[in-house]
Chain A
Amino acid sequence: MTIASTTQQICFLVLAATTVLGALGVVLLPNIVYSAFLLGGVFLSVAGLYLLLNASFVAAAQVLVYVGAVNVLILFAIMLVNKREDLSAIPGLLLRRVLSGTVCAGLFALLLRVAFTTRWALPGPLPVGEDATIRIGEHLFSDYLLPFELASVLLLMAMIGAIVLARRDVFASDVITGEPVDQGLIEKARSPMLLERGDTSPNPSSPLVETSR
């Protein structure tokens, strides 16, 4: 056994152990912040596994997308709302846990069976090494073009949804005059119009409204 293959095996064992233990921690730990950080660790070790499989581009993309974007956004969301308070007790918690545990165990047994009955092609296909990046690009723009474009449409939809959710409440028509509102004015945070949206008392002859328009 050469030094290279020994190192590879040690790396694989360490990475696999971190992935499994980290994933268990994500699910089982009561503190949601720890779960989120552990999720980042799991993503990183999965990237390490890709690296061991000679897929360096996929590994880097995994780090960039999952650790750098997804996990950071999850952490953001947690830190913006986290108030460090204990959740109120849920009735029948034990029963729920037993049920979800059974479902998970069943799923695990099923996966194990698949893993042991499938005839894996050993040894796998030869790694293409650094040419993998070019291959991925060619595939993305030929036979995987449709999924690629569909993913971009999905992202566009998510973006539009986020904008719709994040927008301030916009009245399509002015409360006071009933005229359609100039959207451009409302979008600006410091425009006087938005400041006066607070007083909703209909007062058509208010001099303030007149000056602001």
Chain B
Amino acid sequence: METNTIVSSGLDLQASFIDALQGLGLSSSTARLIWLPLPMLTVLVAAVVGVLVNVWLERKISAAVQQRIGPEYAGPLGVLQPMADGLKLVFKEDIIPARADGLLFTLGPVLVLVPVILSWLVVPFGQNLLISNVGIGIFLWISLSSIQPIGLLMSGYASNNKYSLLGGLRAAAQSISYEIPLALAVLAIVMMSNSLSTVDIVAQQNTAGILSWNIWRQPVGFVIFWICALAECERLPFDLPEAEEELVAGYQTEYSGMKFALFYLGSYINLVLSALLVSVLYLGGWGFPVPVEWLAGLLGQSVDAPLVQVITGSLGIVMTVLKAYLLVFFAILLRWTVPRVRIDQLLDLGWKFLLPIALVNLLVTAALKLAFPVAFGG
């Protein structure tokens, strides 16, 4: 709101696109209609490509951790391996177990995937480079991610398999318990930025480059958020719902083909999304470690010049993706380093450790905001 007027508006693709189409003689509403699906498609493609990159990284890094070579023959350095994986899943037979509940069995994976993709609505790659700057921004993500457990419970129940049911119940329990500290950590950030909108949260962090990133003001919140995000994504050390040694594959046990691929996609998209949101909330989003305005001033360029705007816009996208993938790298490294926790340890960590710490963090943030309104966004 206020910050939008302070920071220069930057690249606005929508306005330029609609202007260009109106120049061709189309009416304003038609131009808007043609524009509407474009960012959605772009983000969808970006999300899927992100998953492919992610799968390749996972294979390569796990190989490196275990001193193997990893995928090598499919394309240079095995970059086509994820494509091969995906194609294999497409051509696999789609099996619905005989005593399973066909309708719920099919609906479950869809309900797991759709909220994750919808959440990309609020991920900003630049001042105007997001699908929609909704005012409730980050809260939308929290509420959408709470739909996921229903899909997990649904597929666990519909499989008619005790391992699946146990996996579904575990997944739902885990996701409910870690959502609360997660929301509390986000709340502390929101309190400092006076806005739920992701664009405002990032814009507010980009006044002094790396020094004004939220991670310096919210180190505890950062750790809580990262732990909870890993738990929400069911990454190791928190991958109890699909713990192979105990539950075969949890709620995914009976799934094959594209239905399994939906779970697979969902979990990886969720991982990328969580990493993106960590970078948005704590690591300055699209911001360069040195303020771009300052750099442009040093080079004697105006920030509003078209070429500078294109460069800053691209730099913003690169920075967001770079930060996110650094976090993804860290998550993969964690996965191949630490052992899995037990279910009671998981719930203890969530309820008895993270929740009180998150509450204290919120209280301290509120107190600091009252005491030092300059530094904590009073």
**Given the complex of chains A and B, what is the CA–CA distance between A64 and B104 in angstroms?**
22
Q: Are B176 and A75 in contact (CB under 8 A)?
A: no
0/1 string, B168-193, CB within 8 A of A gives 1? 11001100100100000000000000
**Given the complex of chains A and B, what is the CA–CA distance between A67 and B154 in angstroms?**
13
Query: Chain A interface residue count: which class?
Result: 20 to 34
Q: Are A33 and B157 in contact (CB under 8 A)?
A: yes
0/1 string, A1-24, CB within 8 A of B gives 1? 011000000000000000000000
Known: A57-B136, A60-B139, A79-B157. A133 touches B144 (CB 8 A): no
**Given the complex of chains A and B, what is the CA–CA distance between A64 and B169 in angstroms?**
19
Q: Are B157 and A63 in contact (CB under 8 A)?
A: no
Chain B residues positioned under 8 Å from A37 (CB to CB): 104, 150, 154
Q: Are A79 and B169 in contact (CB under 8 A)?
A: yes
**Given the complex of chains A and B, what is the CA–CA distance between A37 and B158 in angstroms?**
12
Q: Are B149 and A68 in contact (CB under 8 A)?
A: yes
Give which listed residue, A2, A68, A72, A133, contacts B136 with CB less than 8 A.
Answer: A133
0/1 string, A42-76, CB within 8 A of B gives 1? 00100000000000110011011001110110011
Q: Chain B: interface secondary structure?
A: helix
Q: Are A60 and B143 in contact (CB under 8 A)?
A: yes
Does B135 make an interface contact (CB < 8 A)?
yes
**Given the complex of chains A and B, what is the CA–CA distance between A2 and B29 in angstroms?**
9
Residue of B nearest to A3 (CB): B29
Does A101 make an interface contact (CB < 8 A)?
no
Chain A residues positioned under 8 Å from B227 (CB to CB): none
Does B134 make an interface contact (CB < 8 A)?
yes
Q: Are A130 and B153 in contact (CB under 8 A)?
A: no
Q: Are A72 and B142 in contact (CB under 8 A)?
A: no
Interface residues of B in 121-151 (CB under 8 A from A): 134-136, 139-140, 142-144, 146-147, 149-150
**Given the complex of chains A and B, what is the CA–CA distance between A64 and B176 in angstroms?**
11
Does B33 make an interface contact (CB < 8 A)?
yes
Known: A61-B143, A130-B135. A68 touches B33 (CB 8 A): no
Does B327 make an interface contact (CB < 8 A)?
no
Q: Are B147 and A63 in contact (CB under 8 A)?
A: yes
Q: Are A64 and B143 in contact (CB under 8 A)?
A: yes
Chain A residues positioned under 8 Å from B134 (CB to CB): 56
8 contacts between A and B (CB under 8 A): A56-B136, A56-B140, A60-B143, A63-B143, A72-B176, A76-B169, A79-B153, A79-B157
List of 7 A-B pairs having minimum Cβ-Cβ separation, nearest first? A68-B146, A130-B135, A64-B143, A60-B143, A63-B143, A75-B153, A72-B149
Q: Which residues of A are interface residues toward B (Cβ below 8 A)?
A: 2-3, 33, 37, 40, 44, 56-57, 60-61, 63-64, 67-69, 71-72, 75-76, 79-80, 129-130, 133
